[in-house]
Structures are given as structure tokens and as C-alpha cells.
Amino acid sequence: MEVVGPVDRKIIYSVYFSDNNGLRSEITATLDPSWNHQPEQASNDLALWERVKAEALHTGRDVSTALFETIERERELGTITVHY
């Protein structure tokens, strides 16, 4: 089994692996004690992701590009914090 990581994302560690069918999965371990105590922000972030994805699919835009541009815009506005 191929394993990549751990990758330090500053707020989580990520370990990536692929199963025998080539399905890639991720296991994470949080470094921020408040990570799992932000359900409202998680809900808002998911709703944004779903809306951007649906709009991109509807208009024929590349979903990854649309999501990346949204993250960059929201980070500039200060509405989300993204760690790379």
C-alpha cells in the first residue's frame, strides 16, 4: 500500500493512502483542540462548497478552479482561514 505523509497542514496532519482498487483516502489528526467544536462554521463552509460546485457544473466551469478561486476570495475577505 502506498502511503504519503504525514503532511503537516499546520492545523491537521494528513496521511494519504490508496487501496487495492486505487481509491485514495485520507486520515487526519487535528492539532487544534477547537477543530471539532465549530459546527456552524463547518456547515457554512460545506454549503459554500456545494453552491460553488453546483454553479461550476451548471456553467461548465472547472470545479477545482472555481473552488480554489472561491477559497482565495473568501480568505482575502477574511471570512475563512485556509492553511496550506
% of the chain residues with pLDDT over 90: 39
Which pLDDT tens digit goes with each residue over 59-72?
999 999 999 999 88
pLDDT band at 84 (very low <50, low <70, confident <90, very high): very low
pLDDT band at 74 (very low <50, low <70, confident <90, very high): confident
What pLDDT sits at residue 7? 92
Q: Is the pLDDT of residue 27 over 60?
A: yes
How high is the mean pLDDT of the chain?
86
Give the Cα separation of 55 and 39 in Å (integer).
24
